[in-house]
Structure 1
Amino acid sequence: MSEEKKLYTVSVYTENNIGLLNRISAIFQRRHLNLDSINISTSEIENVSKWTIVLQLSEERVKKVIGQIEKQIEVIKAYYHTEEETIYQESCLFKIKSHLLFDERQIQNIIKESNARIVTVNKEFFVIEKSGRKEEIELLHRELSVFGIMQFTRSGRIAVTKDEMKISKMLEAFQH
């Protein structure tokens, strides 16, 4: 019997070294795992990067992947979390023809109701920014698609855990 696949958010704390992205992505490639998203940023600790990786697989497989990631010399610690254990957001930008902002009153209502905001407006186009859950962004995309989207881009997930992360204590050593 195969184990149930779930969406997991994997948090990886690393030193910031050249070549690490290739080695970590190879771990997923060798196992034929497709990532939903990946985001790499600075963490709460100076000189330590935090990777947020979202993928769908069984808990048994995610544990094995974490084990492989932690074998990389620059990796300090890796964790996995379920949807219920994290607070997360994604961000996106929509580029739309400017005349629609004035000709189609509905667009202004869509922007307001979705809690999106207009970032810039010029003669040719305007840009809308929206942060939220994946479902909120997908809904806004569907609503705006009717009018025509010139460009669209979405970030990877960023997430924090609801519970305290023990990593903060562990990482204090890296600040000295």
Structure 2
Amino acid sequence: MRRTITATVNNTTGVMNRITGLFARRHFNIESITVGMTENPEVSRMTFVVNVSDQRGLDQVIKQLNKQVDVLKVRDITDEAIVARELAMIKVMTGSGQRGEISDLIAPFRATVIDVGRESVTIQVTGDTPKVEALIDLLRPYGIKEMARTGVTAFQRATKKSNDQTRYSIIN
């Protein structure tokens, strides 16, 4: 099962190494990991997308993460209302005659051309993983020369409850 886990940690040397080591010891494959400072420069947020075999193993890893000195908070946010995004840069082989076609192709994805060369264009796209994957699939026939992806960064959506207890999410 695929899970998205966030952890806020002290922004100190070696924290990422110790935390990824926990996943490795439990034989969990980390599909993606993003790490960056939060609004507080002394705290970083880590977002992991991992494949786990069962809930018991996942619960054990979360308990082990919470025991780490530099870990402030750990959450499995997979089943919660979240905002999740990733960035991909894709260098596509193209001649000058195909550039207009590629521009038309990427427009519905709100992707942009960020570099143009004689034989290639580099495209930037941000969004959820299915959106990024869909664009990559459409660009494959042109010949993907190079690609870099950041992995998923996520946190909970802003929500509020109304008087009738119905949940509303703010959509950006």
TM-score in terms of structure 1 length = 0.81
SS in 2 for 1:146: helix
Matched, 1:10 2:34: no
1:60 is displaced (CA, Å) by 3.0
Unaligned 5+ segments in structure 2 are 160-172
TM-score in terms of structure 2 length = 0.83
Question: Cα gap change, 1:147/1:81 in structure 2, threshold over 3 Å: closer, same or farther?
Answer: same
Match 2:112 to one of 94, 110, 117: 117
Aligned ranges for residues 103-114 of structure 1 at < 5 Å? 103=98, 105-114=100-109
Unaligned 5+ segments in structure 1 are 165-176
Cα RMSD (Å) of the superposition?
Answer: 1.9
Is the 1:10–1:79 contact (alpha carbons within 8 Å) kept by the matching residues of 2? Answer: yes
Matched, 1:134 2:90: no
Distance 2:140 2:148 in 1: 13
Aligned ranges for residues 1-150 of structure 1 at < 5 Å? 5=1, 7-57=2-52, 58-99=54-95, 101-103=96-98, 105-150=100-145
Distance 2:94 2:141 in 1: 15
1:107 is displaced (CA, Å) by 1.7
How many positions carry a matched residue from both structures? Answer: 158
Q: Give CA-to-partner distance per residue, 1:66-125, whole Å, 9 cap, x none.
A: 1111111111111111254211011100112352x5336432221112221111223343
Distance 2:44 2:34 in 1: 10
| Runs of 4+ off more than 4 Å | none
Question: Cα gap change, 1:132/1:83 in structure 2, threshold over 3 Å: closer, same or farther?
Answer: farther
